[in-house]
Each structure stands twice: as C-alpha cells, then as structure tokens.
Structure 1
C-alpha cells in the first residue's frame, strides 16, 4: 500500500457559536472564537489517498488530477468564504475544525476514482492546531 498526500491552502472566516446557548455560555466555552464579528484562518489542507501504483506509470494517482478534484469540490467552496454562512456542506452545524474535516472528507470521497481510497484529511487551523480524520 502506498500513501500519497497533496497539500492545498485556503482562507476562510467563521465563528464558533451554539445558537441554543446564551451569549455568556458561548463566550465561556468558545472564548474569542465566539466573536460576533467572526475571525479567520489560513488553513492548510493535507489530503492523503492510498492504493497501489499503476504498473504502467508508477503513480498511485495523477497528482494534477487529484488537485483538480480537491479544488473543484473543496477549495472553490471554502476559499475566502464565511464557513457559517456561505458553505452548503457546513449548513446547520457548528463550524469547528473537526466538523470541517469531516465535511471535506464527505465532499471528496465520492469523486475519487475506485483505484484509490481516501485515507486521511489533515486540516491545520493554525500552525499549532490541526485535526486528522480517517473516515471513521
């Protein structure tokens, strides 16, 4: 089994706010991330696929094609957007990095060719905070 990772980047704004809670509780739980005027991140997205290399090319999958799939189904929907308001696949849920990683997985998985499988979404919110999701 070979694992191949493609790194992409996007910028997006969000706020962490549970509408079922009071403003005070949101601020106590989410701190400055509950700011009513939003805040943004420069996200780094690592998409890892797995499979066996093609005997004719030696490639697991064409990385340019992988980049196009990621751009079309994820980056174009997220880059310079408000995650809470502009992103259809985040509607109705808290826009945490954890939920965003799961949403990205769900966006990508159906669009990958059957010879490869999605292995991991690693999403850096900051240089010191990231989430890994393995589709479980």
Structure 2
C-alpha cells in the first residue's frame, strides 16, 4: 500500500456558536471564536489517498487529476466563503475544524475512482492547530 498526499490551501470565515446555548454560554466555551462578526483562517488541507501503484504509470493516482477533484468538490466550495452560511455540506453543523475535516472526507470520498481510497484528511486551522480524520 502506498500513500499519496496532496496539499491545498483555502481561506474561510466562520464562528463557533451553538444555537441551543445562550450568548453567554457560547462566549464562555468558544471565547473570541463566537464573535458575532465572524473570524477567519488560512487553512492548509492535506488529503492523503492510498492504493497500489498502477503497473503502467507507477502512480497510485495521477496527482493532477486528484488536484482537480479536490479543487472542484472542496476548494471551490470553501475558499473565501463563510463556512456557517455559504457551504452546503456544513449546513446544520457546528463549524469546528473537527467537523469540517469530517465533512470534507464525506464530500470528497464519492468522487475518487475505484481502487483509490481516502486515508486521511489533515486540516490545519493555524500553524499550531490541526486535526486529522481517518474515516
């Protein structure tokens, strides 16, 4: 099994806010991240797929095609967007980095060809904070 990682970048705004809580509860738990005027991040997205190299090309998957799939189904939907309001696959979800990584996995997986499997979504919210999701 060989693992192949493609790194992409996007900028997006969000706020952490649980609508079932009071404003005071949200502020206590989420602090500045519950700001009613939103806040943004410069996200780094690592998509790792796995599979066996094709005997004719030596590739697990053509990285140009992988990049196109990621851009078409993920980056175009996230870049310079409000995650809480503009992103269809985040509707009704708390916009934490953890939930975003899971949603990216669910959105991307069906678009990969047979024999190419998602292994990991690693999503950096800041240079010091990231999550990993393995499905």
Q: TM-score, normalised by structure 1?
A: 0.99
> Displacement, 1:13?
0.0
In the TM superposition, what whole-angstrom CA distance separates every residue of 1:83-107 from its partner, at most 9, and x where no partner exists?
0000000000100000000000011
Structure 1 residue 115: Cα displacement: 1.5
* 1:26 and 2:26 correspond: yes
1:61 and 1:15 map into 2 onto residues whose CA distance is: 36
Deviations 1:9-64 (A, max 9, x none): 00000000001100000000000000000000000000000000001111110000
Task: Give the C-alpha shift of residue 131 in structure 1.
Answer: 0.4
Question: 1:12 — aligned with what?
Answer: 12
- Between the aligned partners of 1:108 and 1:19, the Cα distance in structure 2 is 28
Which residue is 2:67 aligned to?
67
Q: TM-score, normalised by structure 2?
A: 0.99
Measured on the aligned residues, the alpha-carbon RMSD in Å equals 0.4
User: Which residue is 1:45 aligned to?
Assistant: 45
| Structure 1 consecutive aligned stretches of length 4 or more whose deviation exceeds 6 Å | none
Q: Distance in 1 between matches of 2:68 and 2:34?
A: 34
Structure-1 residue corresponding to 2:132: 132
